[in-house]
Amino acid sequence: MGNTLHFLQVDVFTDRPFFGNPVAVVLDADALSSQTMQRIARWTNLSETTFVLKPTDARADYRLRIFTPERELSFAGHPTLGSARAVLHSGRLMRHDAATLTQECAAGLVKLRRDGDRLFFEVPPARTTPLCATDALAIAQALGLETDAETPVFEAIDVGPVWLTAALRDADQVHALSPDFARLAELSRRLGATGVNVHANYPAGYCDARGEAVQVAVRSFAPAVGVPEDPVCGSGNACVALQRRARGEHQDYIATQGDVIGREGRITVAYRGEGIEIGGATVVAVEGRISVD
C-alpha cells in the first residue's frame, strides 16, 4: 500500500459527531514537505487540516502545522483543540492523565487545559487596531447590513490569524447576514486579514433548541483563505472574547456558531484574571490511514 500515516477527523465544539467544526489531523507527519501538506489540505477541503510533528521546543508536547485549503496559518483555535484530542486519542502523549498540554506552532507555545471531556486553549497575546470608518462601511455593505443604520465599529484583532471583528445589534441580525463573499475576500486581502467576524448578544435568559442557556451568537467569514463561512471558529471566538473584555464585559459565557449552516457548535469562554480560555467538547468522527506517496 506504500507509505501511510495515521489520519483522524475530529469534530470540535460539539459532543455529537457531524456537528461543530471538523479538522483533519495527520499524525507523525515529520517527513512531509510543506507542498505535500498544502496539497493534502486542499484535498480534504476542510477549513483547516493539521499535521502533528515532534516538537523543537523542549517545553512542548508536540508541534503543529495548520493549513487552510489555500495557505498555512500560524495559529487557529478549533484545529488546536481537535489536534490535541487526536494526540490524546491516539496515545501519542505519554502523560495520558495530564491536566495540561503545550502545543508548539508558528505563533509560539499554546497552553491547553483538560476539564473532563472538554479542552481549552489559552488565547495568545493579541494586537488590536481600529479600522477607519470607510473600511468599516465597506465591510458592513459586503455583509449585507443596512447602510443607512449605524455602522458597526470594526477592529482588526491579531491572535495569529487577523479577524476584522465587530459587535452587531442583536443575535437575529447576526443570523440574518447574507454576505457578498467575493467582496469580503477582496476587503480581507486588502486589509491583510484572515476574514470578518461578527457577534451579538441573545436576549437575557435565552435557551437554544436543546434547552441550554447561551449568551452570544457568532459568525466568521474567511473567503480570502478558501473558507466562505467557518462553521465554528476558535480564533474568531478568541477575538470576540477580547473585544467584549475591552468593552468592560468580564462574565464567562457560552457562544453559538454554525447553527445557520446546520453545524451547531457551542463555545465556552472563560475569563481567568488577565487570561482568556476558549474551549468546548471534541469528538473523533473518522479514523484511519492516509496514503502519502
Residue-wise pLDDT tens digits, 151-183:
999 999 999 899 999 999 999 999 999 999 999
274 as an active site residue: the answer is no
pLDDT band at 107 (very low <50, low <70, confident <90, very high): confident
Residue-wise pLDDT tens digits, 228-286:
999 999 999 999 999 999 999 999 999 999 999 999 999 999 999 889 999 999 999 99
Domain ranges within the chain, ordered by starting residue = 4-122+280-291, 127-278
What does the alpha-carbon distance between residue 254 and residue 240 come to, in Å, rounded to a whole number?
12
The rounded percent of the chain whose pLDDT value lies above 70 is: 98
In terms of CATH architecture, what is 127-278? Roll (3.10)
What does the alpha-carbon distance between residue 26 and residue 41 come to, in Å, rounded to a whole number?
10
pLDDT at 284: 97
pLDDT band at 124 (very low <50, low <70, confident <90, very high): confident
Q: Is the pTM of this model over 0.85?
A: yes
pLDDT band at 97 (very low <50, low <70, confident <90, very high): low
pLDDT band at 94 (very low <50, low <70, confident <90, very high): low
Cα-atom radius of gyration of the chain, to the nearest Å?
A: 18
Let me know if domain 4-122+280-291 sits in CATH 3.30.365.10.
Answer: no
pLDDT at 2: 66
